[in-house]
Chains A and B, each alone.
Chain A
């Protein structure tokens, strides 16, 4: 397997930027090295896939707006018949492939297809409100809430991991563009860069 390289590798030495008042209210960066799997369910295969993954993942969530969190993993129902599994043991993909009947569903590794960005700080919500058309009021978008949406006309998945911290799973091929748009929106608040941050 080829070496995994960040789409933002050339930005590691970015100095960050002070905000309008001279402070840096945000930390923006990338999380690398995290497992990201997509579980796809074929028509008529829902019961068999749910039974197959039960010992490995627990019950698949019904919610399409709130991630299920268990054993250090997040599971998100991203479409009617698709789930994302974030985190977990290194051999999880192989075990899921072995467990799921080929005619009922499939597993796709997306680590190389997405760049996992994060933005953290008291101004994080204000920055994201400038970029996406999703209501981030904590009463509506709580911790572990998620939404597939777009930044600058490019799709991605927004996940709230703490009160002042959000992650955005950007398409790798558009990661640099998304990154630049994010930094541009954060300029008034000031930011420091954290690239890359390893998380397993």
Chain B
């Protein structure tokens, strides 16, 4: 069972959370009209193996957006922190 350490609610089952994407992707600048940058951001995804940073939202808990350390090859979960603190904390 995957369990996620929500910074607010504590350790919870992953079924309470929503996976929300790669936290390492750099979003194009607000107002940018570079269509290729937006195309790559919205439609192109890496499929990394190993340690990774991901966005999750605790939808059935505190509704906070989190950044979570997870190993995509072992499912080992590491730290989690509020996304408002930045993708790297």
Contacts and interface: CB of A to CB of B under 8 A. Distances in A.
Contacts of B41: none
Contacts of B79: none
Interface band, chain B: 10 to 19
Interface string B1-32: 00000001110110110000000000000000
A155 interface: yes
A104 to B, nearest CB: 18
A150 B10 contact: no
Interface band, chain A: 10 to 19
B76 interface: no
A188 to B, nearest CB: 23
Given A79-B64, A80-B64, A150-B15, A155 B8 contact: no
A168 B53 CA distance: 34
8 contacts: A64-B62, A65-B9, A80-B64, A80-B82, A147-B61, A148-B61, A149-B16, A155-B61
Contacts of A79: 8, 62-64
Which one of A79, A133, A148, A150 has the greatest number of beta carbons of chain B within 10 Å?
A: A148
Main secondary structure of the interface of B (DSSP, over half): loop
Contacts of B60: 148-150, 155
A150 B16 CA distance: 7
B37 interface: no
A65 B10 CA distance: 8
Nearest to B58: A148
A78 B62 contact: yes
B42 interface: no
Given A64-B8, A79-B8, A148 B15 contact: no
Interface in A66-113: 78-80, 82
Interface in A102-143: 133-134
Interface string A160-195: 000000000000000000000000000000000000
